Structure 1
Amino acid sequence: MGSFAKTLPNLPFAQPGLDRSAELRSDPGLLADLLATPTTRVLELHGDRVEVREEEGLARLSLRAPQAGDIDRLGLFLGVDDHDAAHVAVVLDPPPEDHERPDGSHGVEGGGLRTLRQVGAHLEALDATLFTTSLALANWHRAHPFCPRCGAPTEPAHGGWLRRCTAEGSEHYPRTDVAVIMSVVDQDDRLLLARGAGWGEGRFSVLAGFLEPGESLPVAVAREVREEVGLEVTDVEYLGDQPWPFPTSLMVGFTARALGVDLALQDSEIAEARWFTREELLAAVEDGRLAMSGRLSISRRLLEHWLGHELDRP
């Protein structure tokens, strides 16, 4: 099985990046004060993109000092780094799509506006935290402009960490949708991979699904496997978790052992599924019959945990 740890090592977005300093959020003048302080580091979020520069072969977020006009935008207090510098994201409109390059980048060579999917796997812990937190919060703000209780407009408060109803004052907090994602193996240690309905040919992944109210995480793993492929599982074990701001999820990874091998697919969710030995999977990836998810995702790491090494290494 190789030397991989039992839990998933170096999972993108999973490392602590800065002190969130939540006790500061209740100060109503927090953002105004920070955006008037030259040492504050500001991250511009253009829709779902941020400015990235290349530094010694690595991707780094381009942070700047506060500017006039920042206070008029949606501001998000992200926290304080090891040097006591506060970090704030300001949310801007997305760039015109007709300025996008074929590779999805923008701006100068070696940098420009990039999405989290494009650069997330190459960011250090602090930059990854800044990008994922600001994107998840901005996605939530964008989707909740009105009060779910009375329908009145809401406005941001607490440094961008809640929205308050302008009519009756109720407070509404960011939500995180919890999803379980699992590598299912059989008695012969074969891995189950499935192609989702609507996915392109050859695109396979491990199974996943959202946690339902009243469920524990292992119960959700068992239910999702039963619903999607008709298998009962045992030995459900936690391997790691990953914030996934597309738009506002937390992916919690597990491994589980199937009690059978005969599949009964849920037609509305699963187009096809099959068992793979390690040799079969490597051969299918090498000849292009099988397309794996990118290194950014926990699904790739779950597969590599079973495989015993990274896909691009022996």
Structure 2
Amino acid sequence: MRALRLNAWKSEPELVEVAEPTPGPDQVVVRIGAAGACHSDLHLMHDFEAGTVPWGPPFTLGHENAGWVHALGDGVTGLTVGQPVAVYGPWGCGACARCQVGVDTYCENPAGAPVPSGGGGLGLDGGMAEYLLVPASRHVVPLPEGLDPVHAAPLTDAGLTPYHAVRRSWPKLPPGSTALVIGVGGLGHVGVQVLKATTAARVIAVDTRAEALDLARACGADLALPAGEDAAEQVRAATPHGRGADVVLDFVGANTTLKLGAASVRTVGDLTIVGIGGGTLPVSFFSVPYEVSIQTTYWGSRPELVEVLDLGGRGLLKPKITTFGLDEAVHAYHLLAEGRLEGRAVIVP
């Protein structure tokens, strides 16, 4: 079968022929219907090197995956061949306390995982191929009625990641609250939708690109502002009594966006850094409003993925996608790197 593989750090992936996988006990082979192209894949190609993460090439790219059950290993129950499914991307040990409640992202026994702190497309073969071997059936999630694999695939990361970030701040997003989304890209535009679907907050979006601001409005943002020196002042002016945003979600994570987030957040608010733009945020007693909670998040849990897929099946989450064939995948990544894609690129083998 054909697969898009990263063979070395700091290199372009290559489309090559590899053997079709066969499932072992409790394993599942998924016939890929779609695989999302994520900005973090660009970091794998261009920024990572030996020692950055506890795994490395070669492996097939693609950690946002959905399709149909193709083959079942011995002992697998609850799934049938031909069933439409999504794949939960982070693959932990399955035995520690966090994995047992579906939070494989924070597995505390990485030595017992298929690959430490990774998964399909992140150290192990992912879904930018015709078939994907999933090492444990618990990572395979049936799709709800009305949700096809092409639209489900980006929800496994571009939907799950912002959903997890928003969900942890639900207590701070009642009626009368304000949420600020910084960066309306592949994750940020879904983050706007998550906020509108699951909270009563007023949503403000900030981005440098006019087309991204248009996308934010189309996704339900109540106010879309261009990034600039006075962006924080505009955000505060748009909140009751100028108090600032109750929750700030930074989907970029660069120095400028972190500074904007810290200047825009309300006292006792949440500032959540989702993007891995490499920026830093100085924190001292007077550098941020009192009792602001600052956190990073990584992906989300399997139970949260079930909730995300339910929202997708009901039409409440609709990532904006552009589809590409497997032979166009490298081109899709080039467009992503150049900032010429709106929303999410999805590879359809």
Report which of the two structures shows the higher radius of gyration computed on alpha carbons.
1
What's the TM-score, normalizing by structure 2? Answer: 0.27
Which structure shows the bigger proportion of residues in helix conformation?
A: 2
